[in-house]
Structure 1
Amino acid sequence: MTFHDMWAELLPVGRDSASGGYRRFAWTEADADCRAWFAAQAEGRGLRLETDRNGNQWAWLGDPAAGDAVVTGSHLDSVPDGGAFDGPLGVVSAFAALDELRGRGARFTRPLGIVNFGDEEGARFGLACVGSRLTAGLLTREQAHRLTDGDGITLPRAMEAAGHDPDALGPDPERLARIGAFVELHIEQGRALDLSGDRVGIASAIWPHGRWRFDFAGEANHAGTTRPTDRRDPMLPYAETVLAARREAELAGAVATFGKIAVEPNGVNAIPSLVRGWLDSRATDQAGLDAVVAGVEKAARAYADAHGVDLDVVRESFTPVVEFDHALRGELARILGRDAGLRVPVLDTGAGHDAGILSGRVPTAMLFVRNPTGVSHSPAESATEDDCAAGVLALADVLEGLACT
C-alpha cells in the first residue's frame, strides 16, 4: 500500500463534515478506528503488534528484546477540529519509509519499531502527551486516574469502555531501555521551511511550555436587574486578563493564548458565577516563560480584586526546554547531508511532541516537513504531495543510516 493509499484510507476517520476538521479524541470511536487502521498496517507488513500498558501501539520488525532498537512514528489523535497532518503524517510516513527500505533491499541490523502514541494532543482530558508521559514516568497512575473530560467521564472509565485496563497504567522503563534512538517526523507548525524554501528540516529544541487554569469566581445574578455597581461579574476580569496575556507575551517575545473557556451557569441572561479559562504559554527560554506567566497572573489578580472576584490559578502541566540529543541530531544531519543537493536546516519549535517527552529517557530527534500555510491545529493545515514524499525519503535515509548495514 502506497503513501497515497494509506493517506486516503485514514483521511475520513474522525472527520467532521461541517467543519472539515478532525475530532479524533482519546478512547472514542474515532480513536478506535485509528487504532484499527494502525493494526491493519502492521499486520499487512508482517510486523508484530503490541499495545503497551499505557495504550500506545507498537509495530515491530525484529525482536525488540534485542535492544538498541530504532523507533519512529507519532500519534493519530487530534485537537478539536484539527488538521489532517499533525501526528498522522509521522505515522503514515513511518510505514511508507519501511516500504521504501524494503524496496531498496536494505538489511536491518537493529530492531525497527513504529509507534502510535495515545492521547498526544490532550484534547479530551486536558493533558498533552498522556501516553508518552505515563511511559516515561512523568505522569503517575494516580494522576492519570484523576483526569476527567468535559462530560465528567474519568480517564479510567473511558479506557475501560474502550477495552483497556486502566489499572495497568504506569512507567515502562523496560520498554524504553530497548530503544536506542527515537526519530519523529512531523509537519512543521510554522512557516520557517516555507520561507527558507526547504522541504525538510531537523529540530534543534522545543520551547518550554505549559498550561495554567485561571478560575475567576464571582456571583451569579440577573443580567437585566442587577446594577453594574452591585455585580461581581467574573467575565470582566477574565476578558481583561486575555488582553494582558497578549501584552505580556509581546514584551517577552513569547506567546500566550487563552484558547479554552468554561462558564457557569452559562446562561445568556445570567451574570456568570464562574469563568474558567486555560492559558497556554510558550517561550524560547525558561526565564521568558516565567516572566509571561507571572505577569499574566499579577494582572489577573489586580483585575479580580477590582471587580470583587476571587481568583485561583493552577498549573495543570509543564514541560521544560528540550534540547534534542546532539549526537543523534548530528547523525541525522550527516546522513541527510550525503546528498549534495539536499539542504537540511536546523530549527527550533514552540510545539510540544512525544519526542520531547521521551528525550529525558532515550536519544530523540525530529524531522519537520514543510507546511506552506504555516497553519496547524486547523483544517487549513497542509503539505504538498512532493513535500510528503521528500519527508518519506528523508526518514527512510535516516532509518537506513541508523538501523541497516
Structure 2
Amino acid sequence: MSGLDEIADIGRDPRRGGYSRHLWDAADLELRDWFVARAESTGLDVERDRNGNLWAWWGAPGPDAVVVGSHLDSVPGGGEYDGPLGVVSALDAVALLRSSGFVPSRPCAVVVFAEEEGSRFGVACLGSRLLTGALDAARARRLVDADGVTLAEAADAHGVPARHLGADERALGRIGIFLELHVEQGRGLVDVDGPLAVASGILAHGRWRIGFRGEGNHAGATRMADRRDPMVAAARGVVAARDAAAARPGARATVGRIGVVPGGTNVIPSAVTTWLDARSGDDEETRALVAEIEERMRDVAAAEGCELVIAEESWSSAVTFPADLRERVSAALGGIPELGTGAGHDAGVLSAHVPTAMVFVRNPSGVSHAPEEYAELDDCIAGVVAVERILRELL
C-alpha cells in the first residue's frame, strides 16, 4: 500500500480539507504521471485511449482481458481512499502475481478512468460513459467547467483531441471482465463486522441542475412585500427535496452545490442555481422522486414570484451485478457478504456492456466524500490480497 503514501500530498485542499483532484488540473496531471511511472516500474505498458483513460497492460493488449482499476480524481475536499485505493490495490495485486511467477492465460490491464466524480465538468463517470457511448460525444464536447472552459478546449490542451472523444469500440471490445475495488461509502461492513464484501448492485441515480429566476434588486430599498427573491425560493426548494426523499423509504435527495447571481451581500439575487442529486432503489422510484421534487419546487418558486428551470445533467439506471460473477468472486475469497450501494461507479457504467464485479473494503467511519473517509491498513491489505486471488482465478 505504499502507493497511497506516494500520492498523499498531491492535491491536498488547505481550505476544504481532504483532497481536490479534478480532471487535468495540476493534481490530476501529477497523479497521472505517478500512475505511469508506478505501472512501468511494475513491468506494465501504459497507453492512453481517445477519452483520456489510462491503461497499463500486463503483456500484449488483446480481447477478453481481465481489467481491474478505478479512478484518481476526487470530489472537492474528498477523502484519501475513494478511487486511489482501487488503483493502488490493482497495481499491488498485479505486482504480487508477477513476483510469484504466475503466467496469465489471457490479457490483463489496470485502468484509471477519467473524471469519475464529475467535479469539473458535471457528468459523473465521464471517461467510462464516453468509452461506452453512454454519453453523446457532441454533448460532452460542449460541457463547461466553472471557469467557462469547455471539455473540448481542455481535452485539446492536454493532448486528447476533442474530435476523437466518444464511443471507443476497440477499447471496450478488449474487456472480458471488469473488476473494481473500492472503499465502502457507508457503514455496511461495520455492521456485519467484516473487512470485505462483494457488491450486489447500485441504486438508480442522477443529477439535475435547477435554476430559480427572480428579480435582482437593492437589499435596503426593496420592501419585503415587493420582492421576487430566488434565494428564498431555492432555500425552500432544498427543504422540499429533503422532505420528499425522507417520505420514501430508501430514497436520497441532496443539494450540495449552489450558485448565486450576482452574489453581493447587499443585493437581492436575480438567479440562484442549485444542483440536485437524487437516488432510490430502481429507475421508476427515482424518476417518481424527482418528479415530486420538481412539483414541490415549482410550487415554492411560484409562491415567491419566481420561475423554475430544471435540466437533467446525468442519469444512471439501477445496476444489478451478474450473480454468477458475484458468486465466483465470493468463492475465490472463501465466501464474503454481499452489499448494495447508493454510490455510482465506473463499474456500474460498464455493467451494461461487460461482466462486472466490485469488492468493497471496510470504512470504519462510514464517512465518504469528506476528509474523514478512512480504511484500516489491515483491511486495505486484505483488499489487495482479495484482488490478487480474484485475478489468479479469472486469469
TM-score scaled to structure 2, two decimals? 0.98
**CA distances 1:326-381 after superposition (whole Å, capped 9, x unpaired):** 221121112112xxxxx511010000000001111111110000000010001100
Distance in 1 (CA, whole Å) between partners of 2:174 and 2:304 is 56
Distance in 2 (CA, whole Å) between partners of 1:304 and 1:208 is 27
Q: Using the TM superposition, give the Cα deviation of residue 271 of structure 1 relative to its aligned residue in structure 2, in angstroms.
A: 0.4
Q: Give the match for residue 94 of structure 2.
A: 98
Matched to 2:143, the amino acid is: L
Q: Using the TM superposition, give the Cα deviation of residue 309 of structure 1 relative to its aligned residue in structure 2, in angstroms.
A: 0.4
Q: Using the TM superposition, give the Cα deviation of residue 286 of structure 1 relative to its aligned residue in structure 2, in angstroms.
A: 2.2
Q: Give the match for residue 186 of structure 2.
A: 190
Would you say the 8 A contact 1:187–1:369 is kept in 2? yes
Question: What does 1:189-208 align with in structure 2 at a 5 Å threshold?
Answer: 189-208=185-204
Corresponding pairs, count: 394
Q: Give the match for residue 348 of structure 1.
A: 340
Q: Give the match for residue 55 of structure 2.
A: 58
Match of 1:37 among 34, 39, 54: 34
Distance in 2 (CA, whole Å) between partners of 1:16 and 1:301 is 36
Distance in 2 (CA, whole Å) between partners of 1:242 and 1:192 is 28
Match of 2:215 among 209, 216, 219: 219
Question: What does 1:65-84 align with in structure 2 at a 5 Å threshold?
Answer: 65=62, 67-84=63-80
Would you say the 8 A contact 1:62–1:110 is kept in 2? no
Would you say the 8 A contact 1:252–1:291 is kept in 2? no
Match of 1:400 among 386, 392, 395: 392
Q: Give the match for residue 360 of structure 2.
A: 368
Distance in 2 (CA, whole Å) between partners of 1:64 and 1:328 is 23
Q: Give the match for residue 379 of structure 1.
A: 371
Would you say the 8 A contact 1:191–1:373 is kept in 2? yes
Q: Give the match for residue 306 of structure 1.
A: 303
Asked if 1:10 is matched to 2:7, the reply is yes
Distance in 2 (CA, whole Å) between partners of 1:62 and 1:102 is 11
Q: Give the match for residue 118 of structure 1.
A: 114
Would you say the 8 A contact 1:28–1:162 is kept in 2? no
SS at match of 1:386: helix
Distance in 1 (CA, whole Å) between partners of 2:363 and 2:273 is 33
Matched to 2:109, the amino acid is: G
**CA distances 1:114-137 after superposition (whole Å, capped 9, x unpaired):** 000001101011111111000000
Distance in 2 (CA, whole Å) between partners of 1:193 and 1:105 is 33
Matched to 1:166, the amino acid is: A
Distance in 1 (CA, whole Å) between partners of 2:47 and 2:287 is 40
Distance in 2 (CA, whole Å) between partners of 1:185 and 1:63 is 24
Q: Give the match for residue 240 of structure 1.
A: 236
SS at match of 1:150: coil
SS at match of 2:372: coil
Distance in 2 (CA, whole Å) between partners of 1:46 and 1:106 is 14
Identity %: 52
Asked if 1:332 is matched to 2:324, the reply is no
Q: Using the TM superposition, give the Cα deviation of residue 86 of structure 1 relative to its aligned residue in structure 2, in angstroms.
A: 0.3
SS at match of 1:174: helix
Distance in 2 (CA, whole Å) between partners of 1:68 and 1:126 is 32
Distance in 1 (CA, whole Å) between partners of 2:175 and 2:285 is 33
Q: Using the TM superposition, give the Cα deviation of residue 290 of structure 1 relative to its aligned residue in structure 2, in angstroms.
A: 2.0
SS at match of 1:107: coil
SS at match of 1:64: coil
**CA distances 1:72-113 after superposition (whole Å, capped 9, x unpaired):** 000000000100100000000001111222233322111110
Matched to 2:330, the amino acid is: A
Asked if 1:250 is matched to 2:242, the reply is no
Q: Using the TM superposition, give the Cα deviation of residue 174 of structure 1 relative to its aligned residue in structure 2, in angstroms.
A: 1.9
Q: Using the TM superposition, give the Cα deviation of residue 29 of structure 1 relative to its aligned residue in structure 2, in angstroms.
A: 1.2
Q: Using the TM superposition, give the Cα deviation of residue 19 of structure 1 relative to its aligned residue in structure 2, in angstroms.
A: 3.6
Distance in 1 (CA, whole Å) between partners of 2:323 and 2:49 is 29
Distance in 1 (CA, whole Å) between partners of 2:280 and 2:356 is 21
Match of 1:267 among 251, 264, 267: 264
Q: Using the TM superposition, give the Cα deviation of residue 18 of structure 1 relative to its aligned residue in structure 2, in angstroms.
A: 4.2
Would you say the 8 A contact 2:16–2:76 is kept in 1? no
SS at match of 2:246: helix
Q: Give the match for residue 291 of structure 1.
A: 288
- Provide closer, same or farther for how the CA distance between residues 150 and 18 of structure 1 changes in structure 2, counting only shifts above 3 A: closer
Q: Using the TM superposition, give the Cα deviation of residue 40 of structure 1 relative to its aligned residue in structure 2, in angstroms.
A: 0.2
Distance in 1 (CA, whole Å) between partners of 2:219 and 2:177 is 59
Would you say the 8 A contact 2:228–2:306 is kept in 1? yes
Matched to 1:136, the amino acid is: T
- Provide closer, same or farther for how the CA distance between residues 297 and 332 of structure 1 changes in structure 2, counting only shifts above 3 A: same
Q: Using the TM superposition, give the Cα deviation of residue 160 of structure 1 relative to its aligned residue in structure 2, in angstroms.
A: 2.2
Would you say the 8 A contact 2:208–2:313 is kept in 1? yes
Structure 2 gap segments, 5+ residues each: none
